[in-house]
């Protein structure tokens, strides 16, 4: 009982720390829905599910209340599985099986919730200082195992299909580790359902706490992991309002690009910017092409513009452009203000360091 109370305190502490940190630095975690999913995961799993599971199996309530807590932990675990699957898919950027996943969760989840709430599906057994819950309804047991198994199959399938598309291999490996950790947590939960004893209970609780700590470390140290990892940037170009190229970088070749190598679609974007330079400093534009988004940003005060070509513009790319331009101006304010006549573009080589600082997830290692 002391161990369970200690585990609950640790889990709640980890969860609250993660929630506060993610909310405080929410601009670092990609789209707003990613932030919401991370916060909800810690609320549903780290606080509600973990606490209800521990309290249900501790002999501090009568059997009826323990059974209510146990049923609540099962229903909450279903929502947690859905949140985890959604976050996993958003991080990879794979939407082709969303309908299938939604159908599986709606169908199997609905059956499980009905069997948990409206049928006498569990027998409460008191062994030593713990309650254990034996399945009286094997259909419920089979559906719970089936749902967990299908979730793991889909998560691994999505990861393996898209693994090679993730350009930053360190982030790809971290995502692999996370998927493995989620698998262990779900697998140990299944073992606890099959073999309801103290060993498998502690095995499941400890495996979750380890995963929660790893996840918290990634939230703090690797926030880039939570953006859409398969999204790509192809070209990043800085040019003067006169049309002269100041600096350019190709993400596919990981090299700076010369003016003579710029493609036709890029030149269209440059001409578009030059034709629309106004006094609106923070205006962000976009040209939609068949398989590309050309993102346009310009600074009329310092007379330069940014053109970025990507698979798909998102919030993370928008914020990275704004941060890049702010730092770029800080480093090159005097040079930009004094540009006239012949321009020595070698002064703007420091843009390469800023690319690695603000667009790291899109770079090859």
Residue 13 has pLDDT above 60, yes or no: yes
Residue 248 has pLDDT above 60, yes or no: yes
pLDDT band at 245 (very low <50, low <70, confident <90, very high): confident
Could you give the CA distance from residue 300 to residue 294 in angstroms, rounded to a whole number?
A: 19
pLDDT band at 228 (very low <50, low <70, confident <90, very high): confident
pLDDT band at 130 (very low <50, low <70, confident <90, very high): confident
Q: Are residues 351 and 291 in the same domain?
A: yes
Q: Are residues 221 and 254 in the same domain?
A: no
Q: Are residues 129 and 271 in the same domain?
A: no
At 98-111, the pLDDT tens digits run 777 778 888 999 99
| pLDDT score at 279 | 47
Per the structure, how many domains does the chain have?
2
| pLDDT score at 7 | 94
Q: Are residues 159 and 303 in the same domain?
A: no
Q: Are residues 214 and 239 in the same domain?
A: no
Residue 261 has pLDDT above 60, yes or no: no
What mean pLDDT, rounded, does the chain reach? 86
Q: Are residues 199 and 264 in the same domain?
A: no
Q: In CATH, what number is assigned to the domain containing residue 30? A: 1.20.1070.10
pLDDT band at 343 (very low <50, low <70, confident <90, very high): low
Q: Which of 195, 226, 257 is the last residue of a domain?
A: 226
Q: Which of 226, 249, 274 is the last residue of a domain?
A: 226
Q: In CATH, what number is assigned to the domain containing residue 323? A: 3.30.450.60
Q: Are residues 252 and 221 in the same domain?
A: no
Q: Are residues 45 and 169 in the same domain?
A: yes
Q: Are residues 28 and 157 in the same domain?
A: yes
Instruction: Give the residue numbers spanning the domain of 354.
Output: 233-362
Could you give the CA distance from residue 142 to residue 328 in angstroms, rounded to a whole number?
A: 58
| pLDDT score at 12 | 96
pTM for this prediction:
0.84
Closest CA to 246 of 325, 364, 357: 325
| pLDDT score at 341 | 59
Q: Are residues 116 and 214 in the same domain?
A: yes
Residue 30 has pLDDT above 60, yes or no: yes
Q: Which of 176, 191, 226 is the last residue of a domain?
A: 226
At 151-205, the pLDDT tens digits run 999 999 999 999 998 988 899 999 999 999 999 999 999 999 999 889 999 999 9
3-state secondary structure string, 259-289? HHHCCHHHHHHHHHHHHHCCCCCCCEEEEEC
At 267-317, the pLDDT tens digits run 555 656 555 554 444 455 777 777 888 888 888 888 888 989 998 888 889
Q: Are residues 185 and 270 in the same domain?
A: no
| pLDDT score at 216 | 95
Q: Which range is most confident: 148-152, 242-246, 276-280?
A: 148-152
| pLDDT score at 269 | 56
% of the chain residues with pLDDT over 90? 47
% of the chain residues with pLDDT over 70? 89
Q: Are residues 278 and 199 in the same domain?
A: no
β pairing state of 304-310 and 233-240? antiparallel
> How is residue 9 written in tokens?
């305190």
| pLDDT score at 218 | 94
Of the listed ranges 135-139, 211-215, 260-264, 266-270, the least confidently predicted one is: 260-264
3-state secondary structure of 299: strand
Q: Give alpha helix (H) positions in the chain.
A: 2-24, 32-41, 50-57, 63-92, 98-118, 138-162, 169-194, 198-221, 264-276, 315-337, 351-358
Q: Which of 323 and 283 is assigned the larger pLDDT?
A: 323
Closest CA to 307 of 262, 364, 365, 254: 262
Give the dihedral of Cα atoms 85, 87, 91, 93; nearest 10 deg: 60
């Amino acid at each position: 009982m002391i161990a369970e109370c200690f585990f609950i305190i640790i889990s709640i502490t980890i969860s609250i720390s993660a929630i506060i940190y993610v909310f405080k630095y929410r601009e670092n975690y990609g789209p707003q829905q990613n932030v919401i999913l991370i916060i909800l995961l810690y609320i549903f799993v780290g606080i509600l599910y973990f606490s209800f599971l521990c309290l249900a199996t501790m002999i501090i309530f009568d059997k009826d209340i323990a059974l209510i807590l146990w049923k609540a932990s099962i229903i909450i675990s279903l929502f947690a599985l859905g949140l985890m699957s959604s976050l996993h898919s958003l991080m990879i950027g794979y939407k082709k099986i969303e309908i299938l996943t939604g159908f599986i969760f709606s169908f199997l989840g609905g059956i499980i919730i009905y069997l948990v709430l409206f049928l006498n599906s569990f027998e409460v057994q008191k062994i030593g200082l713990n309650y254990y819950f034996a399945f009286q309804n094997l259909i419920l047991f089979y559906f719970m195992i089936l749902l967990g198994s299908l979730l793991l199959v889909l998560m691994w399938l999505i990861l393996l299909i898209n693994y090679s598309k993730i350009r930053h291999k360190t982030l790809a490996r971290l995502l692999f580790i996370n998927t493995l950790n989620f698998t262990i947590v779900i697998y140990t939960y299944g073992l606890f359902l099959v073999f309801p004893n103290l060993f498998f209970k502690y095995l499941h609780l400890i495996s979750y706490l380890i995963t929660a700590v790893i996840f918290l470390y990634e939230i703090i140290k690797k926030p880039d992991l939570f953006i859409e990892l398969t999204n790509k940037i192809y070209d990043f170009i800085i040019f003067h309002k006169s049309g002269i190229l100041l600096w350019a970088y190709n993400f596919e070749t990981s090299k700076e690009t010369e003016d003579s190598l710029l493609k036709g679609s890029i030149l269209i974007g440059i001409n578009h910017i030059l034709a629309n330079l106004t006094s609106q400093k923070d205006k962000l534009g976009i040209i939609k092409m068949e398989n590309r988004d050309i993102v346009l940003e310009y600074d009329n005060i310092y007379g330069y513009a940014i053109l970025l070509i990507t698979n798909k513009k998102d919030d993370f790319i928008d914020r990275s452009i704004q941060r890049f331009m702010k730092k770029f101006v800080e480093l090159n304010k005097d040079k930009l203000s004094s540009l006239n006549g012949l321009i020595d573009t070698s002064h703007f080589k420091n843009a390469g360091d800023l690319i690695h600082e603000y667009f790291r997830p899109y770079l090859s290692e």
